[in-house]
């Protein structure tokens, strides 16, 4: 902290007119709305009592991920030292790290072993940690406990049970997922892909058009047009439309994020309260059950005037007891596996922690590359083309792979490329 103060004085950027030895001012843009904003305000108030030498100023930013991303990029590109702390989506860390916008956090010797392995991997670039996992989000299979006794282990099982529920119980849909052309579609696909034993990227080589990839995409398409378990409308759906279908009791299965769990326990709105549980997505022989990894991380602006003060805030917010409070207040999953044995977490979360942990253990980060969002955009379009039957899965994936590889090669991240040039 002394160092932080020294830095502040040395750079001569202490607030004009203020006393020379005032508290280090650290800015933190983040959600200031609703329950999430309340929890954060409480935590920062406690931090202020603990560390009177640091003053944290909250900055309201848009909640929509792409808007927040755009804002960050504009700030950081302009070389702004403010904000000091950044809340990042899991797929942004490599992008910001490669651009040199955020600090390599290894200098602070974070205890990375205390976090889920996948969340650490997703936040590393060239083997160094650039952001601390704050809370974790995973894609999961919601299944109806009144229609079956156990969740399906394979995609074939799922299709059979779903068709049966449609035929026998008169359910409108067998399975619902997010099929609109947006990032959500890529997360769903990445779970099918893992389930069939494929991956999007292998180092600098695009592998999405492998036989496993084609099988995974064909399986998704067959669920719609051959088996009739996924409605065609799902190709325009985001998370909420699928939740509405499932909570109205119209579907036997739903692929969604943890947020839906607590919402569907509300008996006033939900017809399935108390009649569902969660599991990992199924897998095919030769693949392994896969959960797409999402969530938020905290990083520090590389131009920050007070990196040590900023680290103190990040370290405080990612402590076990703060994570438990976030779980209690907003139902977010801690990134520390040790917490899942705590009775306090069982009281805080709607989902039984053991179930949640079992799914998180299957979490796989989306490709960890600085150009992830650009790759994802290419993939979204071709996935959607195949699912809306404008193209065959193999042709669509081959096209996507060509474009993705060309992009990687162009920016020097392709196989045998010189890395990010840094």
Partner 1 sequence: MRAGEGAERREARLAWRLVAPALATILLIALFPLLWTVWESVHLHDLRMPWLGRPFIGAANYLEAFRDARFWGALGHTLLFTGVTVTLELGLGCVLALAMNRAFLGRAVVRAAVLIPWAIPTVVSALLWRFIFEGQTGIANTLLVEAGLVRDPPVWFIHSDLAWVPVVLADVWKTTPFVALLLLAGLQNIDASLYEAARIDGASAWRQFRYVTLPLLKPAILVALIFRTLDAFRVFDLIYVMTGGGPGTSTEPIALYTFNSLLQNLRFGYGSALSVIVFAITFALALGYIRFLGAGLTETRA
Residues that bind partner 1 (CB under 8 A): 66, 70, 73-74, 77, 95, 98-100, 180-182, 231-233, 235-236, 370-371, 373-374, 377, 381-382, 384-385, 388, 390, 411, 420-422
- Tell me the C-alpha to C-alpha distance, in Å, between residue 63 and each of 22, 34, 37, 233: 32, 11, 11, 27
From the CB of 422, what's the least distance to partner 1, in Å? 6
Q: Please tell me what DSSP assigns to residue 154.
A: B
From the CB of 250, what's the least distance to partner 1, in Å? 11
In the bound state with partner 1, the residue whose beta carbon lies nearer, of 112 and 374, is 374
From the CB of 257, what's the least distance to partner 1, in Å? 21
Torsional sign, CA 186, 191, 192, 193: positive
From the CB of 66, what's the least distance to partner 1, in Å? 7
H-helix or E-strand containing 92?
none
In the bound state with partner 1, the residue whose beta carbon lies nearer, of 143 and 372, is 372
From the CB of 182, what's the least distance to partner 1, in Å? 8
Q: Please tell me what DSSP assigns to residue 102.
A: B
From the CB of 300, what's the least distance to partner 1, in Å? 18
Of the candidates 132, 137, 88, 135, the residue with the CA atom closest to the CA atom of residue 112: 132
In the bound state with partner 1, the residue whose beta carbon lies nearer, of 76 and 132, is 76
From the CB of 419, what's the least distance to partner 1, in Å? 10
> From CA 382, how far away is CA 395, in angstroms rounded?
9
From the CB of 135, what's the least distance to partner 1, in Å? 25
Q: Are 35 and 331 in contact (CB under 8 A)?
A: no
Q: Are 334 and 57 in contact (CB under 8 A)?
A: no
In the bound state with partner 1, the residue whose beta carbon lies nearer, of 224 and 278, is 224
Produce one character per residue of 283-305: b if its CB has 16 or more CB atoms within 10 Å, e if not. Answer: bbeebebbbbbbbbbbbbbbbbb
Whether the bond between 83 and the residue before it is cis, its omega within 30 degrees of 0, is yes
In the bound state with partner 1, the residue whose beta carbon lies nearer, of 342 and 377, is 377
In the bound state with partner 1, the residue whose beta carbon lies nearer, of 154 and 373, is 373
> From CA 47, how far away is CA 281, in angstroms rounded?
39
Of the candidates 85, 147, 78, the residue with the CA atom closest to the CA atom of residue 301: 85
Q: What are phi and psi of 287, to 5 degrees?
A: -110, 180
Tokens of 344: 């306090």
In the bound state with partner 1, the residue whose beta carbon lies nearer, of 100 and 286, is 100
From the CB of 406, what's the least distance to partner 1, in Å? 11
Of the candidates 97, 100, 80, 77, the residue with the CA atom closest to the CA atom of residue 88: 97
Strands (E), 154-245: 173-176, 201-202, 205-206
């Amino acid at each position: 902290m002394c160092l932080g103060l020294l830095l502040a004085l040395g750079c001569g950027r202490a607030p004009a007119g203020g006393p020379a030895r005032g508290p280090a001012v650290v800015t933190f843009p983040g959600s200031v709305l609703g329950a999430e904003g309340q929890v954060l305000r409480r935590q920062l108030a406690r931090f202020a009592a603990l560390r009177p030498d640091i003053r944290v100023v909250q900055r309201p930013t848009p909640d929509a991920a792409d808007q927040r991303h755009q804002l960050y990029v504009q700030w950081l590109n302009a070389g702004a030292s403010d904000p000091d702390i950044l809340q990042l989506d899991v797929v942004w860390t490599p992008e910001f790290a490669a651009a040199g916008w955020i600090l390599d956090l290894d200098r602070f010797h974070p205890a990375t072993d205390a976090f889920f392995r996948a969340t650490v991997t997703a936040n590393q670039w060239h083997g160094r940690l650039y952001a601390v996992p704050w809370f974790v989000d995973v894609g999961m299979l919601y299944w109806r406990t009144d229609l079956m006794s156990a969740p399906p282990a394979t995609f074939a099982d799922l299709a059979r049970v779903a068709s049966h529920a449609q035929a026998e119980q008169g359910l409108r849909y067998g399975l619902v997922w997010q099929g609109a052309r947006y990032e959500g579609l890529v997360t769903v696909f990445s779970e099918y892909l893992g389930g069939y034993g494929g991956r999007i990227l292998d180092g600098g080589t695009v592998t999405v058009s492998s036989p496993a990839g084609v099988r995974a995409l064909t399986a998704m398409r067959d669920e719609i047009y051959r088996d009739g378990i996924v409605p065609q409308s799902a190709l325009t759906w985001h998370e909420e439309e699928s939740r509405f279908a499932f909570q109205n009791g119209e579907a036997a299965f739903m692929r969604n994020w943890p947020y839906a769990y607590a919402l569907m326990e509300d008996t006033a709105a939900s017809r399935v309260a108390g009649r569902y549980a969660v599991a990992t997505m199924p897998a095919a022989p030769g693949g392994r059950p896969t959960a797409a990894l999402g969530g938020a991380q905290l990083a520090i602006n590389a131009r920050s005037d007070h990196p040590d003060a900023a680290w103190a805030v990040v370290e405080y917010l990612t402590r076990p007891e703060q994570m438990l409070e976030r779980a209690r207040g907003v139902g977010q999953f801690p990134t520390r596996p040790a917490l899942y044995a705590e009775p306090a977490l069982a009281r805080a979360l709607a989902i039984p922690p053991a179930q949640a942990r079992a799914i998180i253990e299957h979490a796989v980060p989306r490709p960890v590359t600085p150009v992830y969002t650009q790759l994802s955009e290419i993939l979204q379009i071709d996935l959607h083309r195949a699912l809306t039957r404008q193209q065959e899965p193999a042709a669509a994936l081959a096209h996507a792979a060509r474009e993705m590889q060309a992009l990687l090669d162009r920016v020097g991240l392709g196989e045998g490329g010189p890395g990010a040039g840094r």
